[in-house]
């Protein structure tokens, strides 16, 4: 069973604010799911490589040439709710 501190730690790594009630609920649910994962201990995988890509593609190369972007920088900037500063989005202070 996961401890409350572990749930809070993972939420912190994932940058998600959790309420106390959520910590308690997710602790039980995540523990149950993780417990189920033990089924993998039965699999015989000694000699096997990991699969990261299923169709066997590797190093897809392309000509080094420009092609038109699907939309403009201005269109993308309009998607933000935050104030713009020229071509940039103004965010809260990062370092004190």
Partner 1 sequence: MTELNKLTIRETAEGLKDKKFSCQELLNSCLTAIGDKDGDVRAYIYVDEDGAGLSAKMVDDRLADGEELDILAGIPVGIKDIFNTEGVKTTCGSSLLGDFVPPYDATAVKKLRERGMVLVGKTNLDEFACGASTEHSAFGVTRNPYDLERVAGGSSGGSAAALAAGMCTYSLGTDTGGSIRQPASFCGVYGLKPTYGRISRSGVTAMASSWDVVGPFGRCVDDISILLGALAGKDRLDLTTSDKDVPNYQDFLHKNVKGMKIGLPKEYFDDGVDEEVKDKVRASVKKLEKGGAKIVDVTLPSTKYAVAVYYITMPAELSANLERFDGIRYGKKPSEDPEDLVDFYFKARGEGFGDEIKRRIMMGTYVLSAGYYDAYYKKAQKVRTLIIKDFEKVFGKVDVLIAPVSPTPAFKIGELVNDPLKMYMADALTIPANAAGLPSLACPCGFSSTDLPIGLQVIAPQFEEGRCLRVGAFLESVED
What is the distance between the alpha carbons of residues 3 and 24, in angstroms, rounded to a whole number?
Answer: 9
Closest contact distance (angstroms) between CB of 52 and partner 1 is 6
Task: Tell me which of 57, 58, 85, 87 binds partner 1, using CB under 8 A.
Answer: 57
d(CA 7, CA 24): 9
* Total count of residues recorded for the chain: 96
Q: Which two tokens stand for residue 84?
A: 């713009």
Contacts with 10 (C-beta within 8 Å, 6 or more apart), sequence order: none
Q: Within 10 Å of residue 7's Cβ, how many Cβ atoms?
A: 20
Q: Is 70 among the residues that bind partner 1 (CB under 8 A)? A: yes
Q: If binding is defined by CB under 8 A, does position 96 make contact with partner 1?
A: yes
Select from 21, 79, 85, 86 the one that contacts partner 1 (CB under 8 A): 79
Give the interface with partner 1 as residue ranges (CB under 8 A).
6-7, 10-11, 13-18, 22, 26, 29-30, 32-34, 36-37, 39-40, 43-45, 48-55, 57, 60, 62, 67, 70-72, 75-76, 78-82, 89, 91-94, 96
């Amino acid at each position: 069973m996961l401890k409350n501190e572990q749930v809070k730690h993972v939420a912190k790594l994932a940058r998600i604010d959790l309420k106390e009630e959520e910590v308690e609920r997710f602790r039980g649910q995540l523990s149950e799911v993780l417990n189920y994962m033990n089924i993998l201990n039965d699999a015989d995988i000694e000699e096997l490589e990991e699969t990261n890509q299923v169709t066997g593609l590797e190093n897809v190369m392309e000509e080094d040439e420009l092609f038109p972007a699907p939309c403009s920088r201005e269109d993308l900037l309009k998607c933000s709710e935050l104030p713009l500063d020229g071509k940039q989005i103004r965010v809260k202070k990062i370092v004190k």
